[in-house]
């Protein structure tokens, strides 16, 4: 009974100015809160750029070397000299190695899960690949340094022996495999899950009609994939790889544990040495004074811009694809 009596006066209450305004006020507060947190996100992004730029500019004003071309990192010296040439080279080379290894394998895994695996196994198998993404990067780091590095000795000497003539696989320095090549392999394992899961999503969206049409014409499974799945999924795979690239560029701990850093640029990928932005920050932070920290922030700013460009481009490709397929659906 209580309910009915409560309900009966309700419609007139809505007409009363007081009652309506409470409802509206709640709405306004709620809209304000949720819109506010959306805006807060934009503010955070903007302030990351602003704060990093500000501290970086303090360091750059003191720098006596050329920030882009100096092969040295000595902000504590007199005069302070530091540059990102080696870091930029190391970051890009290790990420490229990771991409070259990871993207084909990831596409293979995505195809396996979307088209080859027995139906019932597909979901658990996809989950297994996702577990790779759940492993913290520091654990990849110690696994890489204490397990993978000794294991790769054999592969390295094999590459040196048979592919040494390619210059990049020539090992000119003796030493354990704490090289950019090893880092690349480790990064490849770490970016596999993200490239796989995005590619898999795209492969699953291929219109059934296209595949069935190909099958009806007598195509084998591989021909179906080559004629209908891969062309449809191409842009998706590209953006997935760029997301993976973004991860690889900014990876810190795995690189810091595996690489034995040095400030040289060498295309002999198997030689120990080199450095990446994130690894350099992790390695140099402890001993850095205030100028040293600002210098590291400056290198972090470059990394930030780099990942921002790569991720932004990847997202734009995905967004454009979404609109395109939406119009067709």
Partner 1 sequence: MSNVIQDATPAQAVTGPGKDTLSQRHLPRWAPAGFAAVSVALGIGIGAGAGLQSRIQWGLISAALFVVISYVVTSTVENRRQAKDRLATSVVWVCFLLAVIPLLSLIWTTVSRGMKVLDAYFLTHSMAGVPGFEAGGGVYHALIGTLEQVGLATLVSAPIGLLTAVYLVEYGKGALAKAVTFFVDVMTGIPSIVAGLFILSIMLIAGLAPSGLMGALALAILMIPVVVRSTEEMLKLVPNELREAALALGVPKWRVILKVVIPTAIGGITTGVMLAIARIAGETAPIMLLVFGSQLINTNPFEGAQSSLPFYIWEQYKVGSEASYDRAWAAALVLIAFVMILNLVARGIARWKAPKTGR
Of 59-88, binders to partner 1 (CB under 8 A) are: none
Of residues 66, 166, 172, 220, which one binds partner 1 by CB under 8 A? 220
Helices 180-204 & 149-163, crossing angle to 10 degrees?
Answer: 100
CA distance 148 to 138: 14
246 binds partner 1 (CB under 8 A): yes
- Closest to partner 1 by CB, 81 vs 189, is 189
Q: Which is nearer to partner 1, 160 or 170 (CB)?
A: 160
Q: How far is the CB of 17 from partner 1 (least distance, A)?
A: 15
Q: Is 250 in the site for partner 1 (CB under 8 A)?
A: yes
Contact 258, 141 (CB under 8 A): yes
Give the shortest CB-268-to-partner 1 separation in angstroms: 25
d(CA 290, CA 76): 9
CB of 158 to partner 1, least distance (A): 10
Handedness of CA 123, 143, 95, 269 (dihedral sign): negative
Does 135 engage in binding with partner 1 (CB under 8 A)? Answer: yes
Q: Partners of 273 in the beta sheet?
A: none
Instruction: Classify 311 as helix, strand or coil.
Output: helix
Buried b (16+ CB within 10 A) or exposed e, 297-309: bbbbbbbbebbee
304: contact with partner 1 by CB under 8 A: yes
C-alpha to C-alpha distance for 21 and 232, rounded to whole angstroms: 52
Q: Is 82 helix (H, G, I), strand (E, B) or coil?
A: strand
* Residues 29-48 interacting with partner 1 (rule: CB under 8 A): 29-31, 33-42, 44-45, 47-48
Shortest Cβ 92–partner 1 spacing (Å): 15
Q: How is residue 268 annotated by DSSP?
A: -
Contact flags string 142-171 toward partner 1, x per CB under 8 A: xx-xxx------x-----------------
Residue in 88, 294, 295, 321 binding partner 1, rule: CB under 8 A: 294
Does 296 contact partner 1 by CB under 8 A?
yes
């Amino acid at each position: 009974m209580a309910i009915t009596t409560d309900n009966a006066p309700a419609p007139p209450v809505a007409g009363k100015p007081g009652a309506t305004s409470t409802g509206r006020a709640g709405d306004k507060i709620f809209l304000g809160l949720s819109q506010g947190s959306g805006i807060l996100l934009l503010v955070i992004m903007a302030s990351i750029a602003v704060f990093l730029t500000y501290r970086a500019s303090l360091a750059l004003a003191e720098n006596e070397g050329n920030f882009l071309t100096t092969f040295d990192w000595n902000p504590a010296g007199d005069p302070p000299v530091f540059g990102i040439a080696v870091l930029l080279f190391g970051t890009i080379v290790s990420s490229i190695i990771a991409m070259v290894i990871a993207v084909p394998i990831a596409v293979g895994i995505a195809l396996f899960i979307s088209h080859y695996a027995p139906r019932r196994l597909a979901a658990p198998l996809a989950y297994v690949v996702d577990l790779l993404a759940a492993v913290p990067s520091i654990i990849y780091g110690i696994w890489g340094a204490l397990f993978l590095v000794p294991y790769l000795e054999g592969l390295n000497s094999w590459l040196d022996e048979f592919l040494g003539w390619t210059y990049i696989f020539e090992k000119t320095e003796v030493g354990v495999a704490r090289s950019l090549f090893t880092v690349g392999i480790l990064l490849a394992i770490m970016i596999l899950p993200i490239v796989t899961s995005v590619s898999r999503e795209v492969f699953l969206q291929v219109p059934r009609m296209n595949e069935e049409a190909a099958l009806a014409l007598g195509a084998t499974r591989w021909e179906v994939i080559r004629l209908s799945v891969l062309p449809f999924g191409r842009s998706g795979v590209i953006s997935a790889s760029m997301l993976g690239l973004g991860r690889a560029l900014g990876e810190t701990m795995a690189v810091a544990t595996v690489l034995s850093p040095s400030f040289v640029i060498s295309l002999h990928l198997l030689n120990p040495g080199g450095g990446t932005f994130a690894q350099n920050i992790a390695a140099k932070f402890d001993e850095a004074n205030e100028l040293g920290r600002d210098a590291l922030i400056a290198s972090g700013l470059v990394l930030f811009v780099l990942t921002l460009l790569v991720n932004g481009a990847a997202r734009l490709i995905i967004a454009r694809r979404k609109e395109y397929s939406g119009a067709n659906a």
